[in-house]
Amino acid sequence: MLKGKGVSSGIGFGNIIVLKKVERKIEKKTIGNEQVESELERLHEALNQVIHETEKQMKNLSGTEADIMQAYLMIMQDPSLISETENAIKNSKYNAEYAVEVGFNSVIQIFENMDDEYMASRSRDILDIKDRVLGKLLKEETIDVSNLESNTIIVATELTTSETAKLDFKNVSGIITEVGGETSHTSIMARTHTIPAITKVEGATKIFKDGDSVAINGTTGEIYIDPTEEEKNKLLDLEKQLEEEKAELEKYKNTESMTKDGTKVKLYANIGLPADAEIAVNNTAEGVGLLRSEFLYMDSDTMPSEESQFEAYKQVAEIMKDKEAIIRTLDIGGDKELKYLKLEKEANPFLGYRAIRLCLDNPTIFKTQLRAILRASAFGKLAIMFPMISSIEELRSAKQVLEECKQELDNENILYDKDIQVGIMIEIPSAALIADKLAKECDFFSIGTNDLIQYTVAVERGNEKISKLYTKYHPAVIQLIKKAIDGAHSANIICGMCGEAAGDPTFIPLLVGLGLDEFSMNSNNILRARKTINNLDKEVCVKLSEEILQMGSAEEVEKRLKAFVNN
């Protein structure tokens, strides 16, 4: 068995097709006058083939994907690009292949050198088109991913945008890639189309051969080559179970997020990318409780511009429409590094220079992001959330910078939502302990359990030797959660939670009992959480929470909560 990182859940069985990058050599030849016509003809034939293919793919697309393809089509037919390329044949007497290199590269260079990060990244789109045109000219045998045998499992180093766009999704039962993370384009598309996908499988394109029979588990990242009957049956059972659960949960798409005795809560989604907002909406999320803005910074070679951030936030605002979307400002530093931001190595990164601390210290970075969020707030219902707040001074300073940004936009006559809500993450015990004070100076809280636990019990999340000590059932953690919720309510503001605990059916009854208002979780867990909530009685949950608050041992708490769900 091989193991990678599961990025799109589900079970898939099928036969492998390996998409290999062909080693390509473009020869530079000088042609005679008599060949000019035929080379021009070859060029146009190749271009037309690619255009034709793209037009066919466009029929099945809508929204952003269709817009991207439309722009591709326009680029392929662009008069300046075509004349550059034609001139390389007509005047410089190059063969069609080399002419494509020359013509396209001149345009790619212009884009690469633009100071606008968004435009600079468009150079990759043109490069992608160039590759396809060259492929046609060289008559390379390419696997037609738009027409696959049923139950195909795709193996590739990484899928390109155009490959993913034309993928014959109904016949793909899984995707395995060597590189790419949870937020790569392929992973998002896989999740959107609910195809199991696993990434970070080193050497996958060499390990697997066309036709290999494999089974994959997109949740755990496990890959079974030539699965035994036993393995197959185990996975089939798991698949059946997943499907039954899914079908059962469908009916919770139409129910309100309310307990049996009428207490309403909000079920929100945690998302890592603008496109994930669509998945959130499909799963009936009532808002976005956490948009991790890190994707903008991690996927980039330079500090992302205000424009590119604005575009991304606007996309989220527009997808969510009148539903709230909370954007967490940059939470980076310590363990998460950025290539273009030189940070000193620290002995205790989790206790160090990160998140709001880094932002307050680098007003340019912080302001760029705040301005982008504010500008995008004119297009929907956005909210701003500051991470790692440990003191009231930090909250005040952050709000001060926000005010400066608002002032700037006012002076520039740029529209934004003047009533934009401003909240903080409660993820440091000191913040939980002064929650009632903090609540008076912001509009909402969101408890980040992952960090709150780590800081409360002094256990680093990633350290396996002590991972047993890391538990949300620790009575101290629960006391702090209660502090945060009560503090919020004393100032009449909402308290949410965006850590993993918020989506855990075992933990939800306790949270309902403590009075949590908003539960934000992975989109795929929303229906399950709604089912849990629909079957709860608030009064019973309050009694349960009172009982739990009396306990002194994490084990006891865990046992009691598990027993509660099983009854």
Interface pick for other proteins out of 208, 310, 386, 455 (rule CB under 8 A): 310
> Which listed residue (405, 442, 495, 498) is catalytic?
498
Q: Are 163 and 129 in contact (CB under 8 A)?
A: no
Cα torsion 191, 192, 194, 198: sign = negative
- Give the relative orientation of helices 63-76 and 36-58 as an angle to the nearest 10 degrees: 170
375 is a contact residue toward other proteins (CB under 8 A)? yes
Is position 185 annotated as part of the catalytic site? yes
Sheet of 11-19, strands arranged across: 2-3, 222-225, 213-217, 11-19, 152-156, 172-177, 197-199, 5-8
User: Interface with other proteins includes 59 (CB under 8 A)?
Assistant: no
Q: Token digits for 143?
A: 């696997």
Q: Measuring CA to CA, which residue among 284, 268, 281 is closest to residue 327? A: 268
In this chain, which stretch among 29-37, 115-123, 444-452, 512-520 interacts with other proteins, using CB under 8 A? 115-123
Nearer to other proteins, 110 or 469 (CB): 110
Q: Among 24, 21, 19, which Cα is nearest to 100's?
A: 24
Of 76 and 501, nearer to other proteins (C-beta) is: 76
Rule CB under 8 A: choose which of 294, 307, 408, 486 binds other proteins.
307
Q: Which of 185, 359, 405, 442 is catalytic?
A: 185
Residue from 22, 114, 351, 466 binding other proteins (CB under 8 A) = 114
If one asks whether residue 81 binds other proteins (CB under 8 A), the answer comes out as yes
Considering the rule CB under 8 A, would residue 408 count as an interface residue with other proteins? no
| DSSP, residue by residue, 294-358 | HHHHHT-SSPPPHHHHHHHHHHHHHHHTTSEEEEEP---BTTB-BTTB-----S-GGGSSBHHHH
Q: Please report which residue ranges of 168-289 form alpha helices under DSSP H.
A: 185-192, 204-207, 229-250, 276-282
DSSP-based three-state secondary structure for 267: strand
- Integer Cα distance of 19 and 123 in angstroms: 23
Binding test (CB under 8 A) with other proteins, winner from 30, 38, 80, 233? 80
Number of H helices, E strands in the chain: 23, 16
CB nearer to other proteins: give 115 or 419: 115
Cβ atoms 345, 288 nearer than 8 A: no
Q: How far is the CB of 416 from other proteins (least distance, A)?
A: 11
User: Is residue 301 part of the contact set for other proteins (CB under 8 A)?
Assistant: no
Q: Tell me the window of 306-314, 472-480, 512-520, 521-529 that interacts with other proteins (CB under 8 A).
A: 306-314
Regarding 79 and contact with other proteins (CB under 8 A), the answer is yes
Under rule CB under 8 A, which residues in 125-154 are in contact with other proteins?
Answer: 126
Applying CB under 8 A, which part among 2-10, 18-26, 105-113, 262-270 lies near other proteins? 105-113
Query: Which of 74, 247, 347, 458: binder of other proteins (CB under 8 A)?
Result: 74
- Pick out residues in 154-193 that bind other proteins (CB under 8 A): none
Binding of residue 311 to other proteins (CB under 8 A): yes
55 near other proteins (CB under 8 A): no
Collect all residues with Cβ–Cβ distance below 8 Å to 392 and sequence separation of at least 6: 434, 437, 438, 441
- Residues that are catalytic: 185, 498
| Sites of contact with other proteins (CB under 8 A) | 67-68, 70-71, 74-75, 78-81, 107, 110-111, 114-116, 118-119, 122, 126, 307, 310-311, 314, 375, 414
